[in-house]
Structure 1
């Protein structure tokens, strides 16, 4: 392909858009760096904002600046799928009492600050001490199979019994069965969107099997503690413009190489759920 050829379909307009985004992102790093410096000096991570390390599903293409945060899961009553939420506690940070929620997950500090971006930091359910249910509750409309599940019903393992061979005509069958859900969103509050997936690839990643042999020990330890029965989950907010992507959710994803990945149809960002990576960003302050 010559330098003058467009690698994306001309009708998509993607090449021009991505160039513009990259240019603006490059300029934005100056302001971001300055803001991060100020925030580190004035607000410790866990006190409402600041530099935060987290594990993400990796962003592999498109304008998104980083991956979306993984949510550790747990199975209750041998069947119900929940997200884990750290117990809140009061700490004194820079002379001020603040509520903090963090815990160790596989050697990694998991904190509520992982989700403080794209306006989610203002959601009631993201407050460390919010009185919310941690169950992943079904939100239909994306996958045909969820039409048989009542909206608001707790997702359960048996709903994913066919996960090792599941397919919907998009990409390769057998990579995993996804669901769309809401989390910590009971009552008249903003909805926190998540994606839940049960996949045979989860066990392979933890074991470092085959193509996952190069996965770091740190990532494998985190995954082993953050997943259960091959179930994993992540906050489903694109880190670019806060859209809602999906794993095998959009037929057009194949045009951009995203048919076996999490694809955001708004601006063609692609995330690989089978590539957990440690990333850093500046978490935005919560609403007090």
Structure 2
């Protein structure tokens, strides 16, 4: 599909140029970041402020940045678990606060603040000390193969992804990876954190030469918080045939306003995390 066809007139959508929205947002942070951080970390909330997160790359549409990655690990029993940062106490603006953050690889600090947007900063399961086994559990509305293997709420297991190098569902290319819709840190919470897990040979190969991917993925498994950074919708990877009209058949496509993400390219994003309510 040509660039001219990417946003056809009948879609009623504006054409966006890659990097323009995100670049403008970063420029704004650079110019006024200090004042913005101070206003967001006042007595009305805890933590938040200027945050650097690792995310699946935004490649098109109106969203301001990519969706945050969830570092993943495999338990001894073969279940998939999203890592949660270590909980510690720091002093911010002269006040001691509890945060979830840890240095993982290179200069990357993994933080619970990566997920503080779209109102999720108020979720109990985003709070640093919320207790969870952090396992990914099968979510409703997943892929056809999931409904055949899992009940909603069952823990995802590596054995279900053995065909990841061949899997396909008729959307885009086969063999890019096998996905699953999941909930994370949500089994006993009022609010749900939606995620996507994928096992991909592309991630498996890239992790051999990338320090961050080597630390945050395992055996080709990658996960991200599946909440669009535009208007907080739930996008889909290979879930909507319309995605091919926007060069997104092999990407993550948000049907609400046609934002597109590349799950096979992890990039650093800079944004203002919203403070957690006191």
TM-score, L = length of structure 2: 0.88
Q: In the aligned structure 1, how far is the partner of 2:88 from the partner of 2:256?
A: 39
| 1:15 shift after superposition | 3.0
Structure 2 equivalent of residue 275 of structure 1: 265
| 1:33 shift after superposition | 7.3
Structure 1 equivalent of residue 253 of structure 2: 263
Q: Deviations over 1:147-196 (max 9, x none)?
A: 12110011110111111100000000000001110111122411000110
* Unmatched 5+ stretches in structure 1: 209-219
Q: Please tell me whether residue 224 in structure 1 is matched to residue 214 in structure 2.
A: yes
Structure 1 equivalent of residue 165 of structure 2: 164
How many aligned positions are there? Answer: 268
Structure 1 equivalent of residue 84 of structure 2: 85
| 1:229 shift after superposition | 1.2
Structure 2 equivalent of residue 176 of structure 1: 177
Structure 1 equivalent of residue 207 of structure 2: 206
TM-score, L = length of structure 1: 0.85
| 1:35 shift after superposition | 7.0
Q: Please tell me whether residue 233 in structure 1 is matched to residue 230 in structure 2.
A: no
Structure 1 equivalent of residue 143 of structure 2: 143
Q: In the aligned structure 2, how far is the partner of 1:32 from the partner of 1:74?
A: 33
1:74-153 matches, cutoff 5 A: 74-107=73-106, 108-148=108-148, 149-153=150-154
Structure 2 equivalent of residue 191 of structure 1: 192
Runs in 1 of length 4+ with deviation above 3 angstroms? 25-37, 41-44
* Unmatched 5+ stretches in structure 2: none
Q: In the aligned structure 1, how far is the partner of 2:12 from the partner of 2:40?
A: 40
Structure 2 equivalent of residue 213 of structure 1: none
Q: Cα gap change, 1:90/1:158 in structure 2, threshold over 3 Å: closer, same or farther?
A: same
Q: Does the aligned pair in 2 maintain the 1:163–1:174 contact within 8 Å?
A: yes
Q: In the aligned structure 1, how far is the partner of 2:138 from the partner of 2:158?
A: 13
RMSD over aligned Cα atoms: 2.5
| 1:142 shift after superposition | 3.1
Q: Does the aligned pair in 2 maintain the 1:170–1:251 contact within 8 Å?
A: yes
Q: In the aligned structure 2, how far is the partner of 1:131 from the partner of 1:137?
A: 16
Q: Deviations over 1:114-135 (max 9, x none)?
A: 1111111111100000122301
1:207 aligned counterpart, secondary structure: coil
Q: In the aligned structure 1, how far is the partner of 2:117 from the partner of 2:228?
A: 10
| 1:87 shift after superposition | 2.2
Q: Does the aligned pair in 1 maintain the 2:254–2:260 contact within 8 Å?
A: yes
Q: Cα gap change, 1:27/1:86 in structure 2, threshold over 3 Å: closer, same or farther?
A: closer
